[in-house]
Structure 1
């Protein structure tokens, strides 16, 4: 079996938001802390990633994490994460829930290439 090279992030859907104004300010990052998207989402919103490829390094899993930013206080709160593994290569589109134990809930859809 060939080694997986990338995870291609396709889209993320807001299933539940926690902010009282009805929208969350979200940071989308790799597990190492590199933020590559900052967006505002309301329940039901779908964000499509624009050709976002995240490389596998030595076939180690890729962690994608979400944080919610409180704009009034600039506090950042961890929502949850997804672990993308190289063995998902060839399985097509995959979806993982992020934040099941949080007040917010998102679904990340990706493909391993």
Structure 2
């Protein structure tokens, strides 16, 4: 294991959405339940994250989970997730797809520092 201690989320792009009205209500959270953002995205939208760093805190991986929230019922369904590893330090910007094989598809850009 390397001495990487932080992951930085850079961008999230909506490649394909599932909501028939044209926008997904997305909740972005850490695997342990901490919610980062709740945003609305349309196909082709790119969301830029703030300057926040996410510590590894001795864990082997940071899990990022995307959920689509139904506005009418407030129920959330998991779109998918990405695992960020401290071994990715020094590899520059990285990309992971989130959502396949669901009907939504997002691309997450991040780096490990």
TM-score (norm 2): 0.96
Counterpart for residue 61 of structure 2: 61
Distance 1:27 1:21 in 2: 18
Gaps of 5+ in 2: none
Q: After superposition, what is the alpha-carbon deviation per residue over 1:35-56, rounded to whole angstroms, capped at 9, x for unaligned?
A: 0100000000000001121111
Query: After TM superposition, what 4+ stretches of structure 1 lie above 3 angstroms from structure 2?
Result: none
What is the aligned partner in structure 2 of residue 46 from structure 1? Answer: 46
Q: Check conservation: 2:2, 2:86, Cα contact below 8 A.
A: no
Instruction: Please show how residues 1-113 of structure 1 align to structure 2 within 5 Å.
Output: 2-113=2-113
Distance 2:31 2:22 in 1: 27
Give the count of matched residue pairs: 113
Structure 1, gaps ≥5 residues long? none
Q: Aligned to 1:51, what secondary structure does the other structure show?
A: coil
Give the 3-state SS of the residue equivalent to 1:87 in structure 2: helix
**TM-superposed deviation, 1:58:** 1.2
TM, length-normalised to structure 1:
0.96
Contact 1:4 1:59 in 2 (8 A): no
- The answer to whether the 8 A contact 2:15-2:44 is kept is yes
